[in-house]
Amino acid sequence: MTLVFEGVSKVVNGQTHIYKTDLTLQNGTMNVLLGQTSSGKTSLMRLMAGLDVPNTGRVFWNGKDVTGMRVQDRKVAMVYQQFINYPSMSVYDNIASPLRLMGKTKAEIDAAVHKAADLMQLGPMLQRKPLELSGGQQQRCALARALVKDAGLVLLDEPLANLDYKLREELRAEIPKIFEEAGSIFVYATTEPEEALLLGGNTATLWEGRVTQFGLTPQVYRKPVNAVTARVFSDPPMNFVQMVASGGRMDFGNGVTAANAGLPNGQYLAGFRPNHLALEPQSKASLEFTARLSVTEITGSETFVHLEHMGARWVGLIHGVRNLALGQDIKVYLDPAHIYIFAQDGQLVAAAPYAEAA
């Protein structure tokens, strides 16, 4: 089974929600849509499901053109951030409801419900009503109902966003295992790069209605094709600084230079992730920058430092709790091995050397 977009776009009231997109999703794969709020994730899912009809392009399912086919006529299951259960029905009946609509026998329904409930750890709760469950259990019920439909396409729109941290961590680990044997195409929307990395599979990064890159999740993370993708696939977003390559040196301004790694002479954009900034040199080659500290955020074992450098805003993720005076100029250090080089138009020129082996 494959889902194929050919030049698909969506415009609503003159505003482009999805620009022309080509995308192919294969059978049995987990596909993450990663992007900020309003980047186009839900709009893309609605086009996949058939809830919306594209303004241009065509949608193919297993080679069949389904562009105008209603969602009711497609084998699609959807789970939203605001999970939906029928409050007057038991957990058993909630999970069984799509099977009854499909005309399954009582024995088939019973077997499927118990299998899904066991996977979701809901076995002892089948006779309860949804309002008697915790938030995590209610979401598991909604996921179980999607699972029993045996749909070819399962769409999960930020399904864990409303759960507490512990439940999110548990379900993030379980979801790939739960759906591993189903053989369907799974599409999972999230705003969190960490969640995309944990889920694995493939990732499509979205920015203002455009798919900026699609591929194996580790590859998209390690080798973003452009600065926009690098910014999307980093939390906090990747930091940038202007750089000039001339002769044998790379000049980052204010006297900060490093050996040129074979770049042609010209102006570039250097990018690095927040966790690669440090308050102490990490190697003899570390670059030393002076930046003004504007905000600190202590998360427990780590500290986010918000900096201003030559008109640019940086964020560093520093290990440990640091007592730093706001408004002061501090020294921060960066190993050149962790720098990505982008052309002025944002396209990747050179990935950080560590990315090749990561």
What are the residue ranges of CATH 3.40.50.300 in the chain? 2-232
Sorting pLDDT into bands at 50, 70 and 90, what band is 184? confident
pLDDT in tens, 109-118: 999 999 889 8
What are the residue ranges of CATH 2.40.50.140 in the chain? 239-357
pLDDT at 182 over 70: no
- Residue in the structure block whose two tokens are 């690098």: 230
Helix (H) or strand (E) holding 46: helix 41-49
Q: DSSP per residue over 321-340, as a string?
A: -----TT-EEEEEE-GGG-E
Sorting pLDDT into bands at 50, 70 and 90, what band is 180? low
Cβ pair 211, 217 in contact under 8 A: no
The pLDDT value given to residue 354: 40
pLDDT at 38 over 60: yes
Beta-strand runs (E) in 198-327: 202-207, 210-216, 239-246, 249-251, 257-259, 266-272, 277-278, 287-298, 302-309, 312-319
The pLDDT value given to residue 193: 95
d(CA 190, CA 168): 12
Most confident of 170-179, 181-190, 247-256: 247-256
Task: Tell me the C-alpha to C-alpha distance, in Å, between residue 96 and each of 122, 247, 297.
Answer: 13, 69, 47
pLDDT at 358 over 60: no
pLDDT, mean of residues 56-65? 95
> Quick one: which of 17, 16, 18 has its CA closest to 5?
18
pLDDT, mean of residues 142-161? 85
Sorting pLDDT into bands at 50, 70 and 90, what band is 239? very high
| Residue 61 per-residue DSSP state | E
Sorting pLDDT into bands at 50, 70 and 90, what band is 42? very high
Domain 2-232 indexed as CATH 1.10.150.120: no
pLDDT, mean of residues 231-257? 94
- The CATH superfamily holding the domain 239-357 is Nucleic acid-binding proteins (2.40.50.140)
d(CA 106, CA 152): 23
The per-residue pLDDT of the chain, averaged, comes to 90
Query: φ and ψ at 169, to 5 degrees?
Result: -60, -40
The pLDDT value given to residue 209: 97
How many percent of the chain have pLDDT more than 90? Answer: 67
Peptide bond into 236 cis (omega under 30): yes
Sorting pLDDT into bands at 50, 70 and 90, what band is 340? very high
